[in-house]
Amino acid sequence: MNAGRIIAIVLLMTLGACDASGDGHAGARALIASRCAACHIVPGVRTAVGRVGPSLDDIASRQYLAGRFRNDRPTMVRWLMHPQAMAPGTAMPDLGLSRAQATAIASYLQRLEAH
């Protein structure tokens, strides 16, 4: 395992352990703030107010991701890791997320349902 990957894992574990809300998603929110916030609105992430991509406020309630892929955790993880491979030319860029990072983000996003 390379040093960058080890640092990322330790950072995620540390952020999760320091989660004051007790929901265990601080690491995911930090990733969303640094990787997704410029393009998406994401509830629970104060800085995620972007309007380039769709709001993710009810992503768990949607049947499809990007209008064409089944909205389930494995597909969401794959989409977060490799959107350009899944839909060449899509506006969503490849962000260089690891599987662990994509899984953490997907876990958080799949809690966001319309109320």
Domains of the chain, by residue range, sit at 27-109
**DSSP 8-state assignment for residue 59:** G
Domain 27-109 has CATH 2.60.40.420: yes
Query: On the CB side of 24, how many CA atoms lie within 13 Å of its CA?
Result: 3
User: 75: which 2 tokens?
Assistant: 């597909």
For residue 113, the model assigns a pLDDT of: 79
- What's the rounded mean pLDDT across residues 83-112? 96
Task: List, for residues 18-64, the tens digit of each pLDDT value.
Answer: 444 556 789 999 999 999 999 999 999 999 999 999 999 999 999 99
